[in-house]
Amino acid sequence: MRRRPECLCVIDPSRYLSSVSSVVQLPPHLDHIIVAAPDLDAAVAALAKATGVTARPGGVHPTFGTRNALVGLGEGHYLELIGPEPSIEVERMPFDLNRTRTIRVATWAVRPDDADAAVVAATQAGLAVGELAPGSRRTAEGDLLTWRLTEPLAADVSGIVPFVIDWGTTTPPGFSLPAELTVTGFGATGPAPVPLDPLDTTIAVDQSEAAGLWLDLTGPQGTWQLPVTPIRD
C-alpha cells in the first residue's frame, strides 16, 4: 500500500515533469477535482506558494454559500478550489465544508457521454449519486455558466464516488482554462475497492482504514501534496 505523508509538502518537480504523461493515468471521463478549504483565500495562497501558480477567481454559488477558484489541468480537466462565501449563510454547505478544518481533497466529478444513463446505471448498482439537477453561477467576468449535476449534499463523504456533471451547451471550464498545473498523482485509500463501472470510470484505491482521496499537483516551482484527510467532528 502506498503511504501518504501527513503534511503538505513542497518537493522538487524535476523528477516528474519529463515523464508524467506516461506515469499518471487519470480516471476516464474526469471533469474536475475539488479541493475544499475552510478559507478559500488561504487555499489559493498555499497552492501558489507550493507550485508558483495562482488560481483564477471563479464565482459564487448563492444556493450553497460557497465560492471557488480554478486552475486548468490540461485535456479538458481542471482543479476547483472551493470554500465558504462569508457573505452568505446557509444551513449546510456541500462537500462537508461546514466540518472542514483544513485543506483537503473533497471529491471529483465525471463528465460521461450520457449523464442521464450514467446516473440510472449508478443508482441501479447501488451507488447513491442522487438525481441530476440544474445549477449555475456567474463568472468573474459576469458570464452565466449553466450545468446539471447530481446532488452535492448527497455526495459520498469519502469523496471516492464522484458526482456527475453535464455541461449541456456550456463549454466546460477545463477546455477554456490554460493548462498551468500537472496532476502527478491522484488516487484513493479505503477499506475496499469501489466499483465505478456504472459511471464508466475508475480510480485506484489502496487498502486503508481511512477512506478518502489524495492528490499531487506540480507547477513551475514545485509540487503541492494533499494527503488523505478524513473529516473529524
Residues 6+ apart with CB under 8 A from 27: 108, 110, 162, 186, 196, 201, 202, 203
Are 60 and 88 contacting, i.e. CB atoms less than 8 angstroms apart? Answer: yes
Q: Identify the CA nearest to 43 among candidates 125, 103, 114.
A: 103
Q: Model-level pTM greater than 0.75? A: yes
Domains of the chain and any CATH numbers:
10-226 (3.10.180.10)
Q: How far apart are CA 164 and CA 30, in angstroms?
A: 10
Summarised one tens digit per residue, pLDDT across range 46-57 is 999 999 999 999
Say if CB 149 and CB 164 are below 8 A apart.
Answer: yes
Q: In the numeric block, which cell numbers belong to residue 112?
A: 460521461
Cβ contacts of 131 within 8 Å, gap of 6 or more: 119, 150, 151
The pLDDT, as a whole number, for residue 228 is 97
3-class DSSP state of 114: coil
E runs forming strands in the chain = 10-11, 30-36, 56-61, 66-74, 77-84, 104-110, 132-138, 144-150, 163-166, 182-190, 205-207, 212-219, 222-226
Kindly state the cell numbers that stand for 12.
522538487
79 close to 35: Cβ distance less than 8 angstroms:
yes
pLDDT one digit per residue (tens) for the chain, 233 residues: 444 443 333 333 333 333 333 347 899 999 999 999 999 999 999 999 999 999 999 989 888 999 999 999 999 999 999 999 999 999 889 888 988 999 999 999 999 999 999 999 999 999 989 999 998 888 878 888 899 999 887 777 899 999 999 999 999 999 999 999 999 999 999 999 899 999 999 999 999 999 999 999 999 999 999 999 987 65
Q: Distance between CA 184 and CA 136 in Å, rounded?
A: 30
The residue behind cell 498545473 is 181
Helix ranges, 70-225 (H) = 115-124, 173-176
